[in-house]
Amino acid sequence: MAQSKNMFLFVANDFVTGLGNSIFNILIMWYVYDVTGSAISTAIIGSYTHISSFLIGPLAGVYADRSKKPLSLFVWTLRVNGILLLIMVLCIFLFSGAIEIFAVYLLVALREITFTMEYPVQTRIIPSIVPEKSVTKLIGYRSVTGNVSSLIGNSISGFIIAFRGVLGGMILNSITFFIGAMLISFLQLIPKENGAVQEQEMAASEERDMKKSRSSIWYEVKQGLKIIWSND
């Protein structure tokens, strides 16, 4: 029962947040081009996702892997994304000119950095919410859901801009993140077998983490990059 519930909540979050995010990606580029009239500015704002994934992705993966409460971290990333979008709405409503564009650039950058945390945190919690034999099934559902939500979001984004405007689209995207955070907060961790052994391993791991210096994060990042580089 808990497994089915967790799979539904996890996939529902993926669909809702993926839908809102795909709408936002088109909306923000349309908005920047409409305000600045610059193709370069539009290309820069559109490249934020890839730049963030390249620069922040390795750190995000290590941080998610070292987190003691990945489920709470997941909820936190969703809520922060929703809050940043609401702040963006206020900036567009209150400011104008160079200040407005600068605020949007800054907030989009912060949003992308926070959003980059979502994927590694999701990967981290999957083994904790479904049995090992169901991990591949959930990953498959997640892949299909992501593609469907992206297809729908890209299809309806133009209509949302036409009927609700930029601010309405951003508010909608913000709502999707808050809905996602609510869904994830209902996830239940599934107890694993050999609980006593795992508790001992967790305690030992926490003790090792306390002894590690801050630079060990960079060491783990470099080790991960070496593995990626050596894998054809």
82-92 residue pLDDT tens = 999 999 999 99
Amino acid 213: pLDDT: 47
Amino acid 195: pLDDT: 47
Amino acid 97: pLDDT: 85
Amino acid 90: pLDDT: 94
- Cα separation, 86 vs 30, in Å, equals 18
Helix pair 135-185, 118-129: axis angle to 10 deg = 110
How buried is residue 225: exposed, middle or buried, by Cβ count under 10 Å (0-12/13-18/19+)? exposed
Helices (H), 37-69: 39-66
Q: 150-174, pLDDT tens digit by residue?
A: 999 999 998 998 998 999 999 999 9
Amino acid 152: pLDDT: 94
* Contact criterion met (CB below 8 Å) for 61 and 48: no
CATH number of 2-190: 1.20.1250.20
Amino acid 205: pLDDT: 55
Amino acid 181: pLDDT: 94
- State which residues of the chain have pLDDT below 70: 1, 192-218, 221, 224-225, 232
Classify residue 194 as left (phi > 0), alpha (psi -120 to 50) or beta.
Answer: left
Amino acid 64: pLDDT: 83
* One-letter amino acid of 226: K
Amino acid 80: pLDDT: 94
Amino acid 196: pLDDT: 43
Q: Comparing C-alpha atoms, which of 150, 158, 155 is closest to residue 17? A: 150
